[in-house]
Amino acid sequence: MDTVSFYIAFIAGILTILPIAGAPFGTRPNIVFILADDLGWHDVGYHDSIIRTPNIDKLAAEGVKLENYYVTPLCTPTRAVLMTGRYQIHTGMQHGVLMAQEPRCLPTDEVLMPQKLKESGYTTHMVGKWHLGFYKWACTPNHRGFDTFFGMYLAGGDYFNHTRLCHGRRLAAWDLRDGDQVVAPEYVGKYSTIVFAEKAQEIIKKHDPTNPLFLYLSFQAVHAPLQVPERYINMYKDDIRDESRRIYAGMTTCMDEAIGNVTRTLARRGLLDNTIIVFSSDNGGAKLYGASNYPLRGQKGTLYEGGVRAPAFVYSPLLSNRVRGTATHELMYVGDWFPTFLHLAGGNLHGVKPLDGVNQWHTVSAAMPSKRTEIVHNIEPLRGKPPRVKDEPWLTNPYFDIRVMASIRVGEWKLITGRKGDPTWTIPPELGGGSVDPGRPTIVELYHIKEDPLERTDLSRDRPDIVNKLLERLRYHSDTSRLPETPTPVFDTSDPLHHNMAWGPWE
C-alpha cells in the first residue's frame, strides 16, 4: 500500500469509530428507543392518516424517516431480535408469541443490548411491555441488563386495571411491576400509556447526566384490548364512524401525546441535545382491532409488507442538517439497532453471539448506502403446512420445503412460501372501507418490492431463476436456525392463585 492510500485508509478507520457526526469526540449519546405495539403503517399522520399524531410527525419531520424498515410479523419475535441483534430463527423465538404459562423465554445464554450498553457505562432503564418470558427470574428485565424495570410481563392486559386473564377461566391476575415487586393495585384506574410516560419522565428527571442514558420505552399501546380515556375517543366522533377504528385512533393519539411529554422532559432536563430517539412499531397493525396498513397488503401475523414493514424514524439534534428532514429508502431491520447502538456507545462485541444486525449509523446520519442486502422475515417450521398442490413447479426443488411458512428479501426481490394468512388489501373505514381479496394464493410467491411495494404481481412463474436462488438462501438460513421450543404450558405451579394473584416466575 502506498503512503497516500495508507493515510486514506487510516482516516477512514478513524471516522468509523467516531461516535456520532457533529458530536464531540468521545461523547456517548443518550439513547431512547420507543416501541409501539401493533401500530399500522397507515396510522401515523405523516403517512397521510386521519389519525392525529402531531408529536410523532414533528419528530419524524425533523429527523430521518425510515421508509424501507422491517420488523417481524409478531410481538415476541421482534422484541427478541431487538434485544439480541439476531434473527428470531437463531434464538428459537420464531414460533408465535409467548403465552402466560409457557415455561420458556428468550434464552438466557443470549447477551442482550442493555448488558452491552451497561459495559459501556450506560444507565439502563426499561418501561412498558416485556413479552420475552418470565417463568424464572433469570428471564426477567432486571436480570437481563436493565438497572430498572417498570412494566408488564405479558401482552393483551387491561389498560386500566393492569390485569391479564388466566387460562380457561374468567379470573384476572395482576401484571404490573416495579422491579420484581407487584405494584398493579396502586395503579388501578390509571391508563397504562399515561403511566408509562410518567414513569419515563421520572427516570429522565432523576438521571445523572454524567452517565449516558439508555431508555427502552415499550408501550402497551396500541395493542388490543381497545381501551382509552373517553376524551381521546371524542376527538374522532365527527371523523370516524367505525367504533373500533375510532377507539384505536384515540389510543394512538394518546400514545403520541405521551411521546411528546417524554420528549419535552428530555429538553427541559437539558438532555435532548445529546439524545438519539428511535421510534418503531413491533409489527403491522391488526385490522380486527382498528389498525390499518393501507395501502400495503396483509396485516399483523402475515409475511406480506403490511405485516413486516413498520413506521419508524430517528430523531436527534445530533443529526447533521444534511439529513434532518429527509426520508431514507435504504434497507433497514430491527436487528440493526443492537450493533448501531453499540457503535454509538463505543462498545465491543466481546461475548456476543454472531449478529445478524449491521451497524446502520452512517446510513442514518450520513445518507450512506445501507450495509444490508438481505432480510430473513421468518422461517416458521411449526406452523401448519398447506396441502400439496399438484401443479406447483417447486414441490420437488432441492433447496427448501415450500410448504413451510417463510419469507426472505434479497435486494429488491422477496419470496414467500407456505401459509400466507390474510392476503388482502384493506381500505380503512374513513377512506371507504372494504377489502380486495386476490383469491387463493399459491404456495410460492415472488415480488419485486421496489417496483411493486403493494405485492400485486406475483412473478414466480416469470422468474424461476430468482425463485431458485431465494429458495437456496432459505435453505442456508434454515440450516443455521435453532428449532423453536414448544414446552407444554404449566397450569398448576404457574397459577397466579399461588402467587398472590399476580403473574410472575414459578420456577
pLDDT digits (tens, 9 = 90+) for 147-172: 999 999 999 999 999 999 987 677 89
Residue 314 in domain: yes
Catalytic residue, candidates 47, 131, 207, 377:
131
* 430 and 329 fall within a common domain: no
Looking at residue 447, which CATH number applies to its domain?
3.30.1120.10
Any domain includes 8: no
Q: What is the pLDDT of residue 60?
A: 98
The answer to whether residue 7 is domain-embedded is no
d(C-alpha 462, C-alpha 468), whole Å? 12
Statement to judge: residues 282 and 333 lie in one domain: yes
Q: Answer with the one of 372, 407, 433 that is the final residue of a domain.
A: 372
Mean pLDDT of the chain: 93
Rounded (5°) CA angle 504-144-381: 80
Does residue 176 sit in the same domain as residue 284?
yes
- 265 and 401 share a domain? no
The answer on 249 and 109 residing in a single domain is yes
| Residue 147 is assigned to a structural domain of this protein | yes
Are both 230 and 252 inside the same structural domain?
A: yes
pLDDT at position 388: 65
d(CA 362, CA 350): 22
Same domain, 122 and 230: yes
Point out the domain boundary residue: 372, 404, 422: 372
Decide if 39 is inside a domain. yes
In a domain, 386, yes or no: yes
pLDDT band at 392 (very low <50, low <70, confident <90, very high): confident
CA–CA distance, 379 with 417 (Å, rounded to integer)? 9
Is the confidence at residue 4, as pLDDT, over 90? no
Among left, alpha and beta (phi > 0; psi -120 to 50; other), residue 390 is alpha
Place of cell 443470549: 110
pTM, rounded to two decimals: 0.94
Find all residues with CB under 8 Å of 135, minimum gap 6, and list them: 102, 103, 104, 105, 490, 494, 505, 506, 507
Mean pLDDT of 213-224: 98
At residue 10, does pLDDT exceed 80?
A: no
What count of residues does the chain have? 507
C-alpha–C-alpha distance, residues 321 and 366, integer Å: 10
Q: Which domain holds residue 140?
A: 27-372
| β-strands 30-36, 275-281 pairing | parallel
Q: Are residues 149 and 273 in the same domain?
A: yes
Active site residue 329: no
Using DSSP's 3-state secondary structure scheme, residue 10 falls into helix
Judgement on whether residues 363 and 406 belong to the same structural domain of the protein:
no
CATH number at residue 178: 3.40.720.10
Q: What string of H, E and C letters represents the secondary structure of 15-57?
A: HHHCCCCCCCCCCCCEEEEEEECCCCCCCCHHHCCCCCCHHHH
| Residue 154 placed within a domain | yes
List the end-to-end C-alpha distance of the chain, in Å, as a whole number.
60
Domain boundary among 319, 337, 372: 372
Establish if 80 belongs to a structural domain.
Answer: yes
Q: Are residues 437 and 355 in the same domain?
A: no
Residues 353 and 405 in one domain: no
Q: Is 377 a catalytic residue?
A: no
List 42, 47, 75, 254, catalytic entry = 75
pLDDT band at residue 133 using 50, 70 and 90 as cut-offs: very high
Distance separating alpha carbons of residues 191 and 228, to the nearest angstrom: 7
| Tens digit of each residue's pLDDT (9 = 90 or more) over 27-72 | 799 999 999 999 999 999 999 999 999 999 999 999 999 999 999 9
Asked if 188 and 161 touch (Cβ cutoff 8 Å), the reply is yes
pLDDT tens figures, 62-88: 999 999 999 999 999 999 999 999 999
Q: Tens digits of per-residue pLDDT, 444-493?
A: 999 999 999 999 999 999 999 999 999 999 999 999 999 998 899 999 99
Q: How many domains does the chain have?
A: 2
Name every residue whose Cβ is closer than 8 Å to that of residue 199 and which is 6 or more positions away in sequence.
127, 150
DSSP single-letter state for residue 297 = B
Residues 379 and 395 grouped into a single domain: yes
